Amino acid sequence: MKTATDQAPAKRSRAAAAAAGAGTAAGQAKAHDVVLQVRDLAVDIRTHRGTVRAVNSVAFEARAGETLALLGESGCGKSMTAKALAGIMDPVCDLADGEIILNGTDLAALSPKERLKFAGPELGIVFQDALTALNPVYTVGTQLGEAFRIHRGLNAKEARVEAIDLMKRVGIPEPESRINSYPHQFSGGMRQRILIAMAVALNPRLLIADEPTTALDVTVQAQIMQLLRKLREEGQMAVILITHDLAVVAEEADSVAVMYAGNVVESGPVSQVFADPRHPYTKGLLESVPAHLERGAQLKSIAGSPPELHDIPDGCVYQSRCPLVQDICRAERPALRPVAGTPVAGNSGAPGNAGTGNPVAGTPVNIPSGKEPRPARTAACHFSEEINNV
Amino acid sequence: MLIYLRKRIVSSALPLVVVIVGVFALARMTGNPASLYLPLNATQQMRDDFTARNGLDQPLLVQMADYFGGVLRLDFGQSLRTGQDAAAMALRAFPATLQLAATTMVLAVLLALVVGCWAALKPNGIADRISSFVSMAAASIPDFWLAIVGIWVFAITLGWLPTSGVSGAGAWVLPIATLLLRPFGVLVQIVRGSMVSALSEPYIKLARSRGAGELRVVTHHALRNAAAPALTVAGDLTVGLVNGAVVVETIFGWPGIGKLMIDSILQRDFAVLQAAVLLTAVAIFALNILIDMGYALLDARVRPVTVKA
């Protein structure tokens, strides 16, 4: 408890006090502690054409007070990964393999019933579309209070008090009167705030935000990201931010895991990955950012499209679109392994400072400073060392 | 809410007038009651007297105007058959039908909710297949056929239940079972369908992510969302029960409004027929208003907007 509050006493006292009520105070994480470790995660989908693997040997870790971005295009398995972590997969999906170690407990090994105890106090999730994610027939007060009623056994009146407090925390004006409103009576931005409030109600260690701003307009996006940042600091939560937006990753995340066709193809601190990508897919993504192109120049894109899940090739998942493809790529799938010759810790990786050129000029990059050593950089490519010499 | 209710009642008035006019005109096309009530060898003089005494010699429009005048004074005329007040006869028969219909619908809805939810938990699972077969069969069996088979098996062959009448609890079994089957079958399929779609909504996933267990997810989160389609269909089926009641009440000798209608048609007892139809129509309008209020209760999105000053 003491160590937990040492970090930032003023900000933390409230979250710690709230956590004490939940009986989780003892586990309040210190900044940069590893909160979640995912290893070899695999998810299968049962379809009419047989079982397909939608997520394959995915591994990453999330740290307290930091944001990990899961970056990838539609269908790459990032949302599936999020649902697997939260234990809310569709009925046709199975957790085929892997460990989801959240603060020392392997969630993947628990029964669905045991997992319910973690859903809320340890882990919260925010969806993209706040309108469909809120139950239309109950007031937001009822829904905000539900977590307190389930996990702390509060009655309706006590839960209402907590719900009003939550609404204040996420910046919803006039919570005392708005608490009796229904989801459809709120604006999109306010609905997203309510969704976030529900996810952080019990001060979880881990917050998964699945494209939280995709459905919102740009000014509201900024407010929501700011709110997430504030809540992350207050509760020293680990945040997993799922997005396809490179700019959001650059602005918000400390580290990034790039996903392609169900696999993590590259991961590491955002500043380093963006400045010096070591997987051809990441490189292709960054080169497709139009920010630094001349007016009138052809926009760059990655030719082709991702493989069908029914039809994932034996070797590298990216082989069909890779400009560097060799025979070995078709024969052997590269494992996600540390990249030799990449800088460690948050002392490098500023734009223009590392690697070749500057693929994300014009995009502000957060350089985490004074933090503990970053996770090693990894990439799943046979040629990750030579990629920038080609 | 009161403004809304008043609006609904006012807007129901016109259809009710149409119903009365329709029944009034159609009933008189069945023929002159005089030929039914007087002996075969009655003289023309006697027939004319009977017709004049009951006001049936007037032009149809005059008769109708008289009738509407009476309705406004809540005077619905007398029965040709018994000389009793027609409205009183209809009101006396109504509770028997209401009890039958209400008991049937309550049972049908409860059973369908349980079976439908059970089936929806695992689409295409064993429970789903069984309930799909049973409900399809239940919805397809004609009620008059089932009533007769029921009497034959349980009343005549086995002797467990009475063939007709209202004495004792046993008398309720066959009429209710007969009426229940179709609403049950239809409602199971509606509940199953709307529960399957409700359970696949993102808000259900999110409820699970807050730690809501299976029971809470089904009964608290999904069911209320799935209830509106079931309510619509249940209302429609309740109206259908009145039709079913005509058959079932006739077969089982149940002294309800359905039997009264059939009897008064056969007897050309116009005043009673009109009173019975009007009463049924009013009941159906009331039911529809109740259903609309039910929607509003279930879902705030369809509540009539009250403009704040």
- Would you state the pLDDT for residue A183? 93
- Would you state the pLDDT for residue A20? 40
Tell me, yes or no, if B182 comes closer than 8 A to chain A by beta carbon.
no
- Would you state the pLDDT for residue A138? 93
Q: Which of B207, B216, B298 sits opposite A137 (nearest CB)?
A: B298
CB spacing of B298 vs A195 below 8 angstroms? no
pLDDT of B299 > 70? The answer is: yes
| Whole-number Cα distances in Å, A335 to A177, A264, A306 | 55, 10, 19
- Would you state the pLDDT for residue B54? 74
Nearest C-alpha neighbor of A261 from the set A52, A101, A96? A52
Q: Which residue carries 């120049």 as its tokens?
A: A297
Cβ-contact A18, A204 below 8 angstroms = no
Give the separation between CA B119 and CA B196, rounded to whole angstroms. Answer: 9
| Mean pLDDT lowest among A11-20, B91-100, B236-245 | A11-20
* Helix (H/G/I), strand (E/B), else coil: A272: helix
Q: Which residues of B touch A86 (CB under 8 A)?
A: 209
Residue B125, in any domain of the structure: yes
Specify the DSSP class assigned to residue A260.
E
Give the separation between CA B279 and CA B264, rounded to whole angstroms. Answer: 14
Q: Which of B213, B216, B225 sits opposite A136 (nearest CB)?
A: B225
Q: Which of B123, B209, B298 sits opposite A88 (nearest CB)?
A: B209
Dihedral sign computed on CA atoms, order A262, A267, A271, A277:
negative
The segment with the largest mean pLDDT, out of A37-41, B83-87, B253-257, B276-280, is: A37-41
The residues, any chain, with a CB within 8 Å of residue A123's CB and separated by 6 or more, are A85, A86, A102, A107, A204, A205, A206, A207, A208, B209
Q: Which residues of A touch B200 (CB under 8 A)?
A: 90
pLDDT along chain A (390 residues), means of 10: 40 41 48 88 91 91 93 90 91 90 91 90 90 92 93 92 93 92 92 93 93 87 92 93 92 94 93 91 88 74 86 89 89 86 47 38 43 70 79
Task: Provide the shortest C-alpha distance from residue A34 to chain B (in Å).
Answer: 22
Q: Which residues of A touch B298 (CB under 8 A)?
A: 137
Q: Which residues of A touch B218 (CB under 8 A)?
A: none
Residue B62, in any domain of the structure: no
Average model confidence (pLDDT) across chain B? 84
- Would you state the pLDDT for residue A80? 92
Residue B211, in any domain of the structure: yes
Dihedral sign computed on CA atoms, order B232, B233, B238, B240:
positive
Best of B203, B218, B297 to mutate (most A CBs within 10 Å, chain A): B203
Q: Which of B202, B212, B216 sits opposite A129 (nearest CB)?
A: B202
CB spacing of A120 vs B224 below 8 angstroms? no
Do the bridges between strand A263-269 and strand A93-102 make them parallel or antiparallel, or are there none, so unpaired?
unpaired
- Would you state the pLDDT for residue B306? 56
Give the separation between CA B51 and CA A37, rounded to whole angstroms. Answer: 95
Residue B209, in any domain of the structure: yes
Residue A54 CB-half CA count within 13 A: 24
Tell me, yes or no, if B201 comes closer than 8 A to chain A by beta carbon.
yes
Specify the DSSP class assigned to residue B57.
T
Best of B200, B204, B206 to mutate (most A CBs within 10 Å, chain A): B206
Give the separation between CA A55 and CA A44, rounded to whole angstroms. Answer: 7
CATH number at B256 reads: 1.10.3720.10
Tell me, yes or no, if B224 comes closer than 8 A to chain A by beta carbon.
yes
Tell me, yes or no, if B208 comes closer than 8 A to chain A by beta carbon.
yes
Residues of A with a Cβ under 8 Å from any B Cβ are 83, 86-88, 90-91, 113, 116-121, 123-125, 127, 129, 132-139, 146-147, 150-151, 182, 184, 195, 198-199, 201
Give the separation between CA A48 and CA B123, rounded to whole angstroms. Answer: 15
How many structural domains are present in chain B? 1
- Would you state the pLDDT for residue A250? 92
Give backbone dihedrals phi and psi of B39, rounded to 5 degrees, phi first: -60, 155
Tell me, yes or no, if B16 comes closer than 8 A to chain A by beta carbon.
no
Residue B110, in any domain of the structure: yes
Tell me, yes or no, if B299 comes closer than 8 A to chain A by beta carbon.
yes
Q: Does the predicted interface ipTM exceed a cut of 0.90?
A: no
Residue B86, in any domain of the structure: no
Q: Side chain identity at A20, as an amino acid letter?
A: A
Q: Which residues of B touch A117 (CB under 8 A)?
A: 211
> How many other CB atoms are there within 10 angstroms of residue A193's CB atom?
24
Residue A266, beta-bridge partner list: A258, A379
- Would you state the pLDDT for residue A344? 53
Best of B196, B204, B210 to mutate (most A CBs within 10 Å, chain A): B210
Tell me, yes or no, if B194 comes closer than 8 A to chain A by beta carbon.
no
CB spacing of A198 vs B298 below 8 angstroms? no
Residue of B nearest to A180 (CA): B300
- Would you state the pLDDT for residue B193? 93
Residue B142, in any domain of the structure: yes
Q: Which residues of A touch B123 (CB under 8 A)?
A: 91
CB spacing of B211 vs A121 below 8 angstroms? yes
A248, exposed or middle or buried, with CB in 10 Å at 0-12, 13-18, 19+?
Answer: buried
Tell me, yes or no, if B300 comes closer than 8 A to chain A by beta carbon.
yes
CB spacing of B203 vs A135 below 8 angstroms? yes
Structural domain including B217 reads 96-266
Angle between helices B223-252 and B86-121 (to 10 degrees): 130
Q: Which of B209, B213, B298 sits opposite A125 (nearest CB)?
A: B209
Q: Which residue carries 């292709």 as its tokens?
A: A284
- The residue that leads in pLDDT, B289 or A373, is B289
- Would you state the pLDDT for residue B307? 47
Residue B20, in any domain of the structure: no
Q: Which residues of B touch A129 (CB under 8 A)?
A: 202
Give the separation between CA B72 and CA B199, rounded to whole angstroms. Answer: 51
Give the separation between CA B287 and CA B294, rounded to whole angstroms. Answer: 10
- Would you state the pLDDT for residue A341? 65
| Whole-number Cα distances in Å, A281 to A252, A263, A320, B96, B237 | 21, 12, 11, 76, 59
CB spacing of A132 vs B202 below 8 angstroms? yes
Give B21's pLDDT tier (boundaries 50, 70, 90). Answer: confident
Give backbone dihedrals phi and psi of A146, rounded to 5 degrees, phi first: -60, -45
DSSP string, A97-134: EEEEEETTEEGGGS-HHHHTTTBTTTEEEE-S-HHHHS
CB spacing of B209 vs A199 below 8 angstroms? yes
b/e per residue A196-233 (b: at least 16 CB within 10 A): bbbbbbbbbbbbbbbbbbebbeeebbeebbebbeebbb
Q: Which residues of A touch B299 (CB under 8 A)?
A: 136-137
Q: Which residues of B touch A182 (CB under 8 A)?
A: 300-301
pLDDT of B222 > 90? The answer is: yes
